[in-house]
Structures are given as structure tokens and as C-alpha cells.
Amino acid sequence: MPSLNTDDETKLEYVLRGKDWKVYWLLLKNNRPMSVREVQKALHFSSPSVAHHHLEQLRGLGLLQKEVSSGDYVLVSEVKIGVLRHFVKLGKLLFPRYLFYAVFSTTSYLFYLLVLMQSFTRENLFIAFFGAIILVIFWYETICIWSLRPF
């Protein structure tokens, strides 16, 4: 991942919106070379020329390269701008970073309730209540970030 200065980040955030953002997200998510027609079909563009235009926009920014032999476009540069700052990539999957926090805190909370909490004392109820608030916050943030993905 290249190091971007503030001007580069601003330019990319300005350009990577709308259909360009969807094309970039698709290539990032698929993690393989894609043809113009594959992009057109995956994103339901009206024609291959629309997909070609957006692929060329991204190539002009240095984020894609066009393979000479096949004509497919391949992602060569991953940038963490905008909502991508909140996502973690594992293979072909992109997850909101908060998902890991939410799963870990949910697992810990359930372990506490089912194994460690022996009685309903004031302290245990306080910990249970506080833990529930933490779970709600992490799951809320996860859902909010997830809803920001382009598709």
C-alpha cells in the first residue's frame, strides 16, 4: 500500500466516488484481473464502454494496470481512503474492522454470563449491564460501517 500525502488522498477521495468507487471496490473485493465485460455485468452498467471509461479512470490514477495479453484490468495499488479505512481485507472478503471487536466482546460477554457469573449480585449485574452496552455500541458501529460499502 503506497503512502499518500494529504493532497493525493484528497484527489483520490474526490475521484473515487460513484461508479469509479464501485469499480474499485469490485476489483478490490474480487482480487483478480477482470475484463471490461465482467465489470459491466457485475455492476449492471448499461454498456461495456461505461465500464471501460471507469476502468481507464482508475488506471490513470495508477490504481490499475491493463494486462497486455488479455486486456484485463488488475488492481496494482490498494489505498485506504474514505470508508476503506474502516475495512479489513481477508482474502477476497472485506469486513468492517468493528466486526472483530463485536465478535470478541460478544464471545467474552457470553462466556462471562454462562461460566463466570455465579450469582446475581450487584457487581455481577453491573458488569452484565455494562457489557451489554459495549456490545450494542460495537454491533451498531459494525452495521453502520457495513452499510457504507458501495454494494
Model confidence band, residue 2 (pLDDT cutoffs 50, 70, 90): very low
**pLDDT value of residue 60:** 86
Q: What is the pLDDT of residues 116-129, one digit of tens each?
A: 998 889 999 999 99
Calculate what percentage of the chain has a pLDDT beyond 90.
Answer: 52
pTM higher than 0.85: no
**pLDDT value of residue 7:** 65
**28 or 4, which is more confident:** 28
Do residues 40 and 54 lie in contact, with contact meaning Cβ atoms separated by under 8 Å? no
Residue 43 has pLDDT above 90, yes or no: yes
Q: Measured between alpha carbons, how far is 72 from 59 in angstroms, rounded to an integer?
A: 12
User: Of 151, 54, 139, 47, nearest to 63 (Cα)?
Assistant: 54
Q: Report CA 55 to chain centroid distance, whole Å.
A: 19
Q: What is the pLDDT of residues 77-97, one digit of tens each?
A: 777 777 788 888 887 788 899
- Here the cell at position 129 is 449491564
- Here the cell at position 112 is 462471562
Q: Per residue in 123-138, is it b (16+ CB within 10 Å) or e — as a string?
A: eeeebeeebeeebeeb
Beta bridge partners of 75: 64
Average pLDDT along the chain: 87
